[in-house]
Structure 1
Amino acid sequence: MKTDWRSSVIAQLEKEAEQFLQTSTVSISFDTYRKFMRNGDRQSYEALYFLQRKRLTTFGLLQFLYPERQAYTEALENEIWQVCNEFTWCLPAHLDRQFEEQDYKTYQQTNQLQYTVDLFAAETAFTLAEMIHFFGEHLDDFLVEKVKIEIDRRVFIPFLDGSFHWEKATHNWASVCGGSIGAAALYLMNGDRKQSLIIDRVIQTMNYYLAGFEEDGACTEGYGYWQYGFGYFVYFADLLKRYRNIDLFEYPKVKAVALFQQKVFLADNTVVNFSDAAPTAAPMIGFTHYLHKKFSEVHVPTESLATTSIVDHCGRWAPAIRELCWYDPKLKGRNWPTGSCLMEDSSIFLSRIEQHAFAVKAGHNHEPHNHNDIGQFILYSRGNVFLRDLGSGQYHKDYFSDKRYQFICNSAEGHSVPVVNGFYQQEGARFYGEIIHAEQNNNYDEIELDLSRAYPGQLQFTRSFQYYKTEHPKLVIIDNFLFNESPSSLVESFIAEDLPFDLQDNKLYLEGDKETLEISYEKDIVLPTVKRKSFRNHQGEIECYLHILCEVVSLNKQVSLRFECNLLGGK
């Protein structure tokens, strides 16, 4: 007998809790704390920090489900106690060291400890505030008061006494930090003047967050950051409407942002993963049900696509509890709809037909979580991303520094964009591309990009795609270059899935699980090579891919290159 989603979630929570009950609470050493400052290592500290949050959230969810079970209550109290006694709620990678690591002289002048308020400090405040709101009568009275004190001194006081860079950010930091602080204030401050000051500032921050979206509502940070950033916007907006009768859902753009999810899946759980995004993801089903009730146009996907592991890799409480509370078993989902979608303002296009899809972007090279990827595209068919995006690499101190584009997944070298006169695309808003033509039909889609400003120097460059939506789809790529003088070199570059391949005459074959992709080219014009390469993905694992390099051997002022990608069917 098939088990329903909610029952599967609860069974998994109980299993994880049983394992946690057999192990001791998390302790983080000073050496582990110092690793990021010493060598840029984020993973050692964050693995333990997030394990602590997973334990906290898991026991909190089971307290919600089984308030009469004393073992869960006691375990939750112990985890809350551990969190209250942490040196900082902020990650070392986000620390302002003049605060947490203030010297004794500074401490004597202020007589108080100083704290950085980052994403995770703010989230922790939200988590603990909501937990004592829900479970306060079941928890030790002293512990409840301890939580209030810790939230006040670690988050409310620093926020009220200062200002933070994220308050005017136009990306996920604004909504997560601001929304978490605002939610905690709504729970704990009981309508006093300080609460009003916090809420007013948070609403301003939410306006900055929404300003980061174009009118089409696309999240150029990637789908994961849509779930994260827009999620915390919605969590705060929901509480604000209930506590203050202020409706942020009426704001311009919110509906468009809510519709983004259904415009970014290639098929099933495979995502258009431009920027720092994972190649696969699971829709948050309870969150989607909530959005569908706010905006009926929000597509409800099939339940089978939703994860039953509602406690994410960071152990976040706010999305997990809402997956349980907002899930509506009466809402029956469907497959992602067939069709094409042009997000014109954000320069992203997706065409989806059953188990086949094609996506492309233009944009600029100063986007949030930017990759140098103007003109990048993805080709998917029946379980294989034949021409792929590497997505996010492993986060490290250098990943968000001036060394960012030394990481292959962020650089132009790691994307399906050409190398012109030996130059890869560079970072910066001055490098951009535009969608200059888009035609959407039942049988084929056509889209053309002007990429002339994506490279330095005097160059006219257009890239066009024709995607034929037949039983075995075909993608035709045509790159037209016009130089002032003949280029010294020109190399077409394609990033492909790590698959068995066969290079024959004027064709390259990639053997997928259920399909074979045939890429044909003009052998008198280009000389192809295929190299197997690797990078470290977001989970820190070594992941391989194929790098197809097509050197242009016939160079003139005007160069036209054509590549046909035919899906041949197969197994």
Structure 2
Amino acid sequence: MKKLISCLFFIGVISVTSGQIKPDFSRISDHPRLLLRQGEEEKLKEGVLTHTAWRNLHEVILRESTAILDMKPLTRNQIGRRILQTSREALRRIFYLSYSWRMTEERSYLEKAEQELLAVSQFADWNPSHFLDVAEMTLATAIGYDWLYHELPEASRQTIRNAILQKGLAPGQDAAYNGWRRAKNNWNQVCNTGLSFGALAVFEENEALCNDIIEKAIASIRIPMEAYAPAGNYTEGYSYWAYGTSFNVLFIDMLEKAFGSDFGLSSQPGFLQTASFYANLMGTSGRVFNYGDAGGVEGLQPAMFWFANKLQDRSVLFIEKDFLERQKFNEKSNRLLPLAMLWADGIDVNKIQAPTTKLWHATSENEIAVLRTGWNKTKDIYVGFKGGTASVSHGHMDAGSFVLDMDGVRWASELGMQQYNSLESAGLKIWDMHQQSPRWDVFRLNNFSHNTLTINGQLHQMEGNAKLIKKSENEEQINAVFDLTSVFASQLEKATRGIAVLNKSYVIVRDEIKTGKNRATVRWAMLTPARVDKIDGNRLVLKNGKKKITVFLEDMDDIQWKSWSAEPPKEYDAPNPGFVFVGFEIQMNPHEVKHLNISFNVGDHEKRSGHTLALSEW
């Protein structure tokens, strides 16, 4: 039934797109027509002259472009089934160099950009069997071709144009390669965007083909945009938000500049609100809530400036302000960095204020809750709390898991993603998502590596979905409660976890568990990068540098904390240096009820918190 509804939706949006909101291709302007039109450089230059933050970013892009001048041209380097690293580096080089040429008219940038464009254009192909590679390479060549068009010799234009048509757009029309048009994940956003940029860049060469690509993209990209409804939660988490959403914003920007309309895309439910989702994934330790297949801190996120302008809300840029002030640009890897200059509109960074949010949550297929006492790095508490399901794209068996920041330190951590090629090269079918899939043998993907409960050493139920059933923004007790029962189907009769920040000073994690007809061994585990300073029965002290927290097992004097290695069991698993687990096990009889209360207090404390209210009273 879900597949039928999705199919009908897809047919419906195609018919709408080909009807009343059909793009008017007569509006397409001369080159440059993508992102930054002729003469718009002058406004960017004003921002560079007026604000230190934008001058610093501009100079970083120029310095990195100068460094690129001495690099050998890219070659087609395939790693496993991907040339994605090459495509992304091509985008970084060509975008940086093209920006630097347009802002300075220094011919060395133009000449190097032309060299890189010709190099990738002469590849045998752009690897359509892994179409993200094609999409990013098409975006790279489209920007370079469009931005440098009037300065490139006709012979170079012809070579680049043919490559876009033959190695980018043509395979995108082949049913063997374009299944992403029906996908509801980042592949749809990235591939539609890359091909649409290519189509618009070379529009004059084959108008019918380019019309078809862009019209289909307007219809298709609505499918993954459904994931933002109703209030901005993005199913795939931090890193894939940065990927899919950035490309989605690129697509909308392209439509607005080319046709004067985004055909209702930015008003899709939840899309603009997703800026708050991304901002709230940054903890007060400076680390992110990296559940699922997430990597580390992305650095400055250009898409957030686009959202801030659309929303007329500067507070969503509070994290970006910090990156700007500390010049954390990740210019060696952030291939979209020049977009920050284009989308920031010269905003005065000093006028960006912190949000007032203390609890962030939005219903979705893969729910989370974020609790905090504020946005101050040195003093405020932050908890990222995961519900949801492992059955979504890039999902882990992490329902019930959490990260915890206190006193500016990350005490409870997530390992995040493992590079896919390392697992694929070991022969694992990690994209098979059923319960018996070898995907769940991978340590970082299953529940054994997460800060959650494990019953009888078994995997979580992949199709289970933990939903938020209760929450409070009361500053004296900010809390959220997830029902985990479906995640433990056939293992427990009932499982509920709540996390509360109390009196702006300490944190409680409470589990309410009821067994079914069988006995159960319940493992409570937390991964930490801290050192175990001492264990005294049900009292645990963790230390990071000169800072400490005390963790109590409330009202459970017969249980003792334990610590154990975070080293994984399989050769193909990534190592986890610097991490250990702390936790405990309890034995439960059939039809028994247990309430577990774990409190977290800053410093080396001797007293318990004393807060043991049932979740029904929260």
State the TM bucket, normalised to the shorter chain.
0.7 to 0.9
C-alpha displacement of 1:53: 4.3
Instruction: Tell me the residue number matched to 2:383.
Output: 358
| Residue 409 (structure 1) aligned to one of 444, 462, 465 | 444
Aligned-partner residue type, residue 338 of structure 2: I
Normalising by the residue count of structure 1, what TM-score does the alignment of the two structures yield? Answer: 0.84
Quote the residue 2:538 is aligned against.
506
Selected match of 1:476 from 499, 508, 514: 508
Check 1:524–1:281 CA distance in 2 against 1; reply closer, same or farther (3 A cut).
same
Q: Which residue of 1 aligns with 2:8?
A: none
TM-superposition CA deviations, 1:477-505 (whole Å, max 9, x none): 22222223351422212222243432112
* Letter of the structure 1 residue corresponding to residue 215 of structure 2: D
Q: Partner of 1:171 in structure 2? A: 185
Change (3 A) 1:498 1:220: farther
Equivalent in the alignment of 1:180: 194
1:418 matched to 2:453? The reply is: yes
How far is 1:14 from its partner? Answer: 3.5
- Residue 88 of structure 1: CA displacement? 2.8
Aligned-residue Cα RMSD (Å) equals 2.9
Paired residue secondary structure (1:408): coil
1:221 match: 236
Give aligned pairs, total: 527
1:276 aligned to which of 293, 299, 303:
293
- C-alpha distance in 2 between matches for 1:289 and 1:179: 19
Deviations 1:399-421 (A, max 9, x none): 54543222222110011121212
Assess if the C-alpha contact under 8 Å between 1:433 and 1:451 holds in 2.
yes
Identity of aligned residues (%): 17
- Counterparts of 1:304-315 in structure 2 under 5 Å? 304-306=322-324, 308=327
Q: Is the 8 A contact 1:412 1:426 kept in 2?
A: no
Superposition pairs of residues 20-169 of structure 1, within 5 angstroms: 20-28=68-76, 33=78, 36=80, 50-67=88-105, 69-90=106-127, 96=129, 118-162=131-175, 164-169=178-183
- Contact 1:59 1:75 (C-alpha < 8 Å) held by counterparts: yes
Gaps of 5+ in 2: 1-49, 375-379, 605-618
1:172, 1:225 within 8 Å by CA — same for their partners in 2?
yes
- 1:464 matched to which residue of 2? 497
Q: Deviations over 1:98-132 (max 9, x none)?
A: xxxxxxxxxxxxxxxxxx6x123112212212222
Distance 1:455 1:22, change over 3 A: same
- What is the aligned partner in structure 1 of residue 599 from structure 2? 565
| C-alpha separation in 2, matches of 1:188 and 1:501 | 63
- Please report how far the alpha carbon of residue 445 of structure 1 lies from its aligned counterpart in structure 2 after TM superposition: 1.7
Note the residue ranges of structure 1 that are not aligned, 5 or more in a row: 97-115
Judged with a 3 Å threshold, the aligned counterparts in structure 2 of structure 1 residues 51 and 207 are, in CA distance, closer, same or farther, namely closer
Question: Are residues 1:348 and 2:368 paired?
Answer: yes
Q: Deviations over 1:348-375 (max 9, x none)?
A: 1111223311121211220120100111
CA gap of 1:279–1:499, structure 2 versus 1, over 3 A, is: farther
- Give the C-alpha shift of residue 552 in structure 1: 0.7
Cα offset for 1:294? 1.0
Q: 1:85 to 1:275 in 2, by over 3 A?
A: same
Cα distance change on mapping 1:172 and 1:491 into 2, 3 Å: same
> 3-state SS of the aligned residue for 2:394?
coil
Question: What's the offset of the Cα at 1:58?
Answer: 3.1
- 3-state DSSP of counterpart to 1:212: helix
TM-score between the two structures when normalised by the length of structure 2: 0.78
SS in structure 2 at match of 1:423: coil
Provide the C-alpha distance between the structure 2 equivalents of 1:495 and 1:569, rounded to a whole number of angstroms.
Answer: 19
Q: SS state of the match for residue 391, structure 1?
A: coil
**2:608 corresponds to:** none
Q: Distance in 2 between matches of 1:133 and 1:70?
A: 17
Alignment partner, residue 545 of structure 1 = 579
Is the 2:285–2:406 Cα contact (8 Å) retained in structure 1? no
1:76 alignment partner AA: A
The correspondence for 1:487, drawn from 516, 519, 522, is: 519
- Out of 514, 518, 524, the residue aligned to residue 550 of structure 2 is 518
Instruction: Judge conservation of contact 2:190–2:247 (CA < 8 Å) in 1.
Output: yes
Give the counterpart of 1:303 among 318, 321, 324.
321
The answer (yes or no) to whether the contact 2:515–2:588 under 8 Å persists in 1 is no
**Does the 8 Å CA contact 1:136/1:144 hold for their aligned counterparts?**
yes
Structure 2 vs 1, CA of residues 469 and 454 (structure 1 numbering), >3 Å: closer, same or farther?
same
Paired residues of 2:506 and 2:602 also in contact (CA < 8 A): no
Cα 1:542–1:3 change in 2 (3 A) is: farther
SS at match of 1:87: coil
1:353–1:469: 8 Å Cα contact kept in structure 2? no
* 2:45 alignment counterpart: none
8 Å contact from structure 1 (residues 217, 254) kept in 2: yes
- Assess, with a 3 A threshold, how the Cα gap between structure 1 residues 543 and 49 changes in structure 2: closer, same or farther: farther
| 8 Å CA contact 2:186, 2:244 repeated in 1 | yes
Deviation at 1:57, TM superposition (A): 3.3
- Cα separation, 1, equivalents of 2:121 and 2:341: 26
